Chain A
């Protein structure tokens, strides 16, 4: 089942003197449960593409359908609501809410969706256990290491069972051990929850784990390789 369809997507930035084609005629489909990496050199358009898929930015041309919904047709507040219900985000620099504990960070989106307390507690503890942080539930981000913070961010992204998770260079700030742990956790959750993961990365370790690798160069898809 397709969770995401991109059709002839363009993103053009108009600078003072020139037009920059950050994403140039990209068409892609993503199925439920995929574990895909978007790779390419710096400036190839990975982050721009990810931002458009996540509804944070709009294409200059083309269509992006999430679960058959065209993101460009949604009003700003409806788009925020749509993101909350369908898309999970993992950022390069974790971006946890500093005044909330690990547990409260994971619960945050469920609270916005007004989940019942018991259900919310169960899901939070299940995810924190899955990311190996059950003993740090009451720690604020400032008391957690980078790797631990990113694991909380993954738990937060998965909390409300989104259609897919977008991770923009999730391992860029992590050491080797933390990277391996995080990738194992994400792979496990991908399998268990059947949630699509889409990364942007140029980390070889992430590419190795991915079951699909899409390569971008100058905003264009130059290869789309699927692995078993």
Chain B
């Protein structure tokens, strides 16, 4: 009889114990994968939000600007500089920005804001501000009016959960409100009629501003209203301007959403008395993976000397990186504790199994089975035990993660507020199946195999004559 066959039969001698042990392995694998997927997915989402709506992966700035963000620390956006950067093989395009601060006011309210001058067309490559224009807003009036229509009860219930929320896309509105397939044709026109918001983008040279949704609410701004910006301009000038609100935009990062004002970059340069100047130039890359970013960064760094500085997204978002890194370590510790509990469970089973079968091991060696062959059978048994749990865990975790990937967990009401207060988008996303799947499975497999060391040592040290008396 082959080792693997004998091991399989041995496994089912104590059916209940095998099922319980495999179940503990299953839960370890399942929860570890779900936890890891949620953690990594949420981090990715946070990074993506901040990178794609603000920093980009690489920026070129005046060397003083990062430490001292004043409008005097700008650089000339010359054609020579542009060609030096764009000749790099991984550079797709350059996105010019003029970033400063100002006091914004409308009516009796005012607030310190971040003013971002952008190229309306080129910015579509990165943050795509146009796609963030608010198209729906679930105000109290809109919800009351929608409820007065003939709508399904689930929609009426869900509307209350997302009261006062704004949406840029039909898709996210439909997901949040749980609009069922087939219902969208009848419900979307109703939602558009009462909750639809009319917004428009701007183009170069237009004296128009786009403001974040939260900031617009604070200042009580709607499309067509006017915003006044007042601040310090280049070399001691006073920056002052009046702009018509072209549209309200929804930025996933709540902190940014609460302070952002976009202007066309040329309009912004005029506001700050700095024509042809930029505070930063976002380098749009062809390939965004970590290695490609590192490579591009190194090449640009060697090419651009003073007064330029090349910054990577990690440097620009240091606090967030550290925060998420610490959270990641915390998550790993939690998973480690989970593994430790499971390891003791598996080890308990191995201890019992070894004690119960000591006599049998003695008989097998007495009649001529080599100890190495016997340990081979036991390793197979442990492998089966682990594999059963791992495969079951993966089999359940995969569809759960795929479902979670397409249906992220949106927080509502007070929980959402807590997340937003911390500056995060109130949503937990799952990461698509990736390397972590293999690493989690491997860790559990290693735990099971390490637990197998105990019976192997016992067999190696076993004296047949003593084992037969057991």
| A interface residue numbers (CB < 8 A to B) | 51, 54, 56-57, 76-77, 80-81, 83-85, 89, 91, 95, 97-100, 104, 107-109, 111-112, 156
Contact = CB atoms under 8 A, between A and B. Distances in A.
A83 B367 contact: yes
Contact of B367 (A57, A76, A84, A100): A84
A81 B368 contact: yes
B377 to A, nearest CB: 10
A142 B381 CA distance: 21
A95 B368 contact: no
A111 B367 contact: no
A99 B10 contact: yes
The residue in A76, A83, A99 that gathers the most chain B C-beta atoms within 10 A of its C-beta is A99
A99 B367 contact: no
B367 A108 contact: yes
Interface residues of B, number: 21
A77 B371 contact: yes
Contacts of B465: 51, 56-57
A29 B371 CA distance: 31
Interface of B: 1, 6, 9-10, 13, 359-360, 363-373, 464-465, 468
A80 B359 contact: no
Nearest to B7: A99
Given A51-B465, A98-B13, A109 B367 contact: yes
B380 to A, nearest CB: 13
Given A99-B13, A104-B1, A91 B369 contact: no
B457 to A, nearest CB: 15
Contacts of B364: 97
A83 B464 CA distance: 12
A112 B364 CA distance: 11
Contact of A80 (B1, B371, B468): B371
A95 B367 CA distance: 10
Given A56-B468, A57-B465, A108-B1, A89 B9 contact: no
A57 B469 CA distance: 13
8 contacts: A76-B371, A80-B369, A84-B368, A85-B368, A97-B363, A99-B6, A112-B373, A156-B367
Contact of B365 (A80, A98, A109): A80
B374 to A, nearest CB: 10
Nearest to B10: A99
Closest A-B pairs by Cβ, 9 of them: A84-B368, A99-B9, A95-B363, A57-B465, A56-B465, A56-B464, A51-B465, A83-B368, A99-B10
A56 B372 CA distance: 18
Contacts of B360: 95, 97-98
Contacts of B365: 80
The residue in B364, B367, B372 that gathers the most chain A C-beta atoms within 10 A of its C-beta is B367
Contacts of B366: 54, 56, 83, 89
SS of A interface (majority):
helix
Contacts of A91: 363, 468
A84 B360 CA distance: 16
A70 to B, nearest CB: 18
Contacts of B369: 80, 84, 112
B468 A109 contact: no
Contacts of B1: 100, 104, 107-108, 111
A95 B373 CA distance: 19
Contacts of B371: 76-77, 80
Nearest to A168: B468
Contacts of B370: 77, 80-81
Nearest to B367: A89
The residue in B360, B364, B370, B465 that gathers the most chain A C-beta atoms within 10 A of its C-beta is B465
Nearest to B364: A97
A182 B201 CA distance: 99
B11 to A, nearest CB: 9
Contacts of A51: 465
A128 B102 CA distance: 98
A56 to B, nearest CB: 5
A78 to B, nearest CB: 10
A83 B6 CA distance: 22
The residue in B10, B366, B371, B373 that gathers the most chain A C-beta atoms within 10 A of its C-beta is B366
Nearest to B359: A95
Nearest to B365: A80
A108 B371 CA distance: 15
The residue in A81, A97, A100 that gathers the most chain B C-beta atoms within 10 A of its C-beta is A97
A65 B13 CA distance: 40
A51 B463 CA distance: 12
Contacts of A112: 368-369, 373
Contacts of A54: 366
Contacts of B368: 80-81, 83-85, 109, 112
Contacts of A107: 1
A79 B259 CA distance: 83
Contacts of B13: 98-99
A79 to B, nearest CB: 10
Contacts of B9: 99-100
A104 B6 CA distance: 11
Given A56-B468, A81-B368, A156-B367, 20 more contacts: A54-B366, A56-B464, A57-B465, A76-B371, A77-B370, A77-B372, A80-B369, A84-B368, A85-B368, A91-B363, A97-B360, A98-B360, A99-B6, A99-B10, A100-B6, A107-B1, A108-B1, A109-B367, A112-B368, A112-B373
B305 to A, nearest CB: 71
A117 B174 CA distance: 67
A82 B351 CA distance: 31
B301 to A, nearest CB: 63
A81 B365 CA distance: 10
Contacts of B363: 89, 91, 95, 97
A111 to B, nearest CB: 6
The residue in A83, A107, A109 that gathers the most chain B C-beta atoms within 10 A of its C-beta is A83
B385 to A, nearest CB: 15
A81 B13 CA distance: 28
A100 B9 CA distance: 8
A54 B9 CA distance: 29
A97 B363 CA distance: 9
A100 B363 CA distance: 14
